[in-house]
Amino acid sequence: MALDETNSLSRLTEQFPGYEKFTSHITSVTLSFVLPFLYITDRHNPRITASLLNQIYRNSGDCSPTHFAHINATACFTARLLYDTVLNALAGWEVTWENGCQNWPGEDGKRYNDSIDSFLHGLRNLRNKSWGGTAKGSGRTADEEPRMVLLIERAERLKDNLPDLIVPLTRLAELSQVKITTILLSSARWEDIKPPLGASPDPYFIDIDPPSKQDTVDSLLFEFRSASITHARADKQDKTYHPSLLPLYEQYVEHVYNVCSLYTTDIQELQYIAAARWPGFVKPVLREQSDAHGDGDPDPDGTCTELTLPASDGRMRLLKFFTPSLTTALDVLYPRLTNATDWALANDPDMQASEEAQCQTNTEGSIIVDHLPRMSKFILLAAFLASTNPAKSDVRMFGRGADKQKRRRRKSASPKKAGAQTTVAKVSQRLLGPVVFPLDRLLAILGALLEENDVENRPHEPWFELPGEYTDMELGRVHIYAAITELTSMRALHRTTAVEKLEGPPMYKCGISFWVAGALAKDLQVPLNDLMWDPV
CATH of the domain at 521: 1.10.10
pLDDT band at 253 (very low <50, low <70, confident <90, very high): very high
Question: Is 361 domain-assigned?
Answer: no
What pLDDT, on a 0 to 100 scale, did the predictor assign at position 364?
Answer: 40
Question: Is 356 domain-assigned?
Answer: no
In terms of Cα–Cα distance, which of 126, 130, 133, 90 is closest to 110?
126
Exposed (0-12), middle (13-18) or buried (19+): which is 101, by Cβ within 10 Å? exposed
pLDDT band at 230 (very low <50, low <70, confident <90, very high): confident
Report the alpha-carbon distance of residue 499 to residue 505 in Å, rounded: 11
Distances (CA, A) of 83 to 102, 112, 163, 212: 14, 7, 15, 38
What pLDDT, on a 0 to 100 scale, did the predictor assign at position 406?
Answer: 46
* Same domain assignment for residues 194 and 224: no
Kindly report the pTM of this predicted structure.
0.62
* Same domain assignment for residues 183 and 256: no
Residue that is last in its domain, among 207, 240, 271? 207
What pLDDT, on a 0 to 100 scale, did the predictor assign at position 47?
Answer: 93
Tell me if residue 78 falls in helix, strand or coil: coil
Residue that is last in its domain, among 207, 228, 245? 207
* Same domain assignment for residues 184 and 160: yes
Report the alpha-carbon distance of residue 296 to residue 138 in Å, rounded: 71
* Same domain assignment for residues 314 and 448: no
* Same domain assignment for residues 299 and 194: no
Say yes or no to pLDDT of 141 above 90.
no
Neighbours of 516 (CB within 10 A): 22
Tell me if residue 40 falls in helix, strand or coil: strand
CB 38 within 8 A of CB 203: yes
Question: Is 271 domain-assigned?
Answer: yes
Say yes or no to pLDDT of 363 above 80.
no
Of 68-77, 238-247, 269-278, which gets the smallest average pLDDT?
Answer: 238-247
* Same domain assignment for residues 217 and 195: no
- CATH label of the domain that carries residue 16: 3.40.50.300
Exposed (0-12), middle (13-18) or buried (19+): which is 163, by Cβ within 10 Å? exposed
Say yes or no to pLDDT of 252 above 90.
yes
The secondary structure of the chain in percent helix, strand, coil, rounded to multiples of 5, reads 55, 5, 40
What pLDDT, on a 0 to 100 scale, did the predictor assign at position 366?
Answer: 47
What pLDDT, on a 0 to 100 scale, did the predictor assign at position 424?
Answer: 55
Provide the residue range defining the domain that includes 221: 213-351
Question: Is 192 domain-assigned?
Answer: yes
Pairing of strands 180-186, 37-41: parallel
Question: Is 359 domain-assigned?
Answer: no
Say yes or no to pLDDT of 498 above 70.
yes
In terms of Cα–Cα distance, which of 65, 37, 38 is closest to 49?
38
Write the pLDDT tens digit of every residue in 277-330: 999 999 888 888 877 665 545 454 444 467 888 888 888 988 988 888 898 899
CB 36 within 8 A of CB 181: yes
What pLDDT, on a 0 to 100 scale, did the predictor assign at position 367?
Answer: 59
How many angstroms separate the first and last alpha carbons of the chain?
84
Report the alpha-carbon distance of residue 165 to residue 170 in Å, rounded: 9
In terms of Cα–Cα distance, which of 120, 89, 117, 123 is closest to 103?
89
In terms of Cα–Cα distance, which of 160, 156, 162 is closest to 188?
156
Q: What is the mean pLDDT of residues 334-359?
A: 73
Show the CA angle centred on residue 347, arms to residues 344 and 351, nearest 5°: 130
What pLDDT, on a 0 to 100 scale, did the predictor assign at position 357?
Answer: 43
Residue 48 DSSP class: H
What pLDDT, on a 0 to 100 scale, did the predictor assign at position 533?
Answer: 78
Percent of the chain with pLDDT over 90: 34
Of 28-42, 371-385, 397-411, 445-459, which gets the smallest average pLDDT?
Answer: 397-411
For the chain, what is the mean pLDDT? 81
In terms of Cα–Cα distance, which of 361, 278, 359 is closest to 322?
278
CB 31 within 8 A of CB 2: yes
Distances (CA, A) of 122 to 85, 102, 128, 399: 12, 15, 10, 84
In terms of Cα–Cα distance, which of 158, 73, 165, 88 is closest to 123?
88
In single-letter form, the type of residue at position 172 comes to L
Show the CA angle centred on residue 123, arms to residues 118 and 125, nearest 5°: 90
Say yes or no to pLDDT of 34 above 70.
yes
* Same domain assignment for residues 270 and 135: no
Number of domains in the chain: 3
* Same domain assignment for residues 64 and 176: yes
Distances (CA, A) of 256 to 163, 284, 487: 40, 18, 30
In terms of Cα–Cα distance, which of 485, 484, 492 is closest to 513?
492
Question: Is 421 domain-assigned?
Answer: no
Tell me if residue 150 falls in helix, strand or coil: strand
* Same domain assignment for residues 239 and 135: no
* Same domain assignment for residues 157 and 247: no
Report the alpha-carbon distance of residue 325 to residue 344 in Å, rounded: 10
Exposed (0-12), middle (13-18) or buried (19+): which is 37, by Cβ within 10 Å? buried
Write the pLDDT tens digit of every residue in 513-534: 888 888 888 888 888 888 887 7
Write the pLDDT tens digit of every residue in 463-492: 766 777 788 888 888 889 999 999 998 888
Report the alpha-carbon distance of residue 175 to residue 197 in Å, rounded: 19
pLDDT band at 3 (very low <50, low <70, confident <90, very high): very low
pLDDT band at 455 (very low <50, low <70, confident <90, very high): confident
Q: What is the mean pLDDT of residues 190-219?
A: 92
The residue among 422 and 83 whose pLDDT is bigger is 83
CB 152 within 8 A of CB 169: yes
* Same domain assignment for residues 114 and 167: yes
What pLDDT, on a 0 to 100 scale, did the predictor assign at position 136?
Answer: 47
Phi, psi (deg, nearest 5) at residue 65: -65, 130
Q: What is the mean pLDDT of residues 31-49?
A: 88
Report the alpha-carbon distance of residue 203 to residue 286 in Å, rounded: 54
Question: Is 387 domain-assigned?
Answer: yes
* Same domain assignment for residues 264 and 187: no
What pLDDT, on a 0 to 100 scale, did the predictor assign at position 4?
Answer: 52
Say yes or no to pLDDT of 89 above 60.
yes
In single-letter form, the type of residue at position 423 comes to T
Pairing of strands 66-72, 37-41: unpaired
Q: What is the mean pLDDT of residues 430-451?
A: 85
Say yes or no to pLDDT of 153 above 80.
yes
Show the CA angle centred on residue 303, arms to residues 299 and 308, nearest 5°: 60
User: Long-range contacts: 83-90, Cβ < 8 Å, 24+?
Assistant: 83/112, 83/113, 83/118, 83/119, 83/122, 84/112, 84/113, 86/119, 86/150, 87/112, 87/113, 87/119, 87/122, 87/123, 87/126, 90/123, 90/126, 90/148, 90/150
Question: Is 358 domain-assigned?
Answer: no
Residue that is last in its domain, among 207, 241, 270? 207
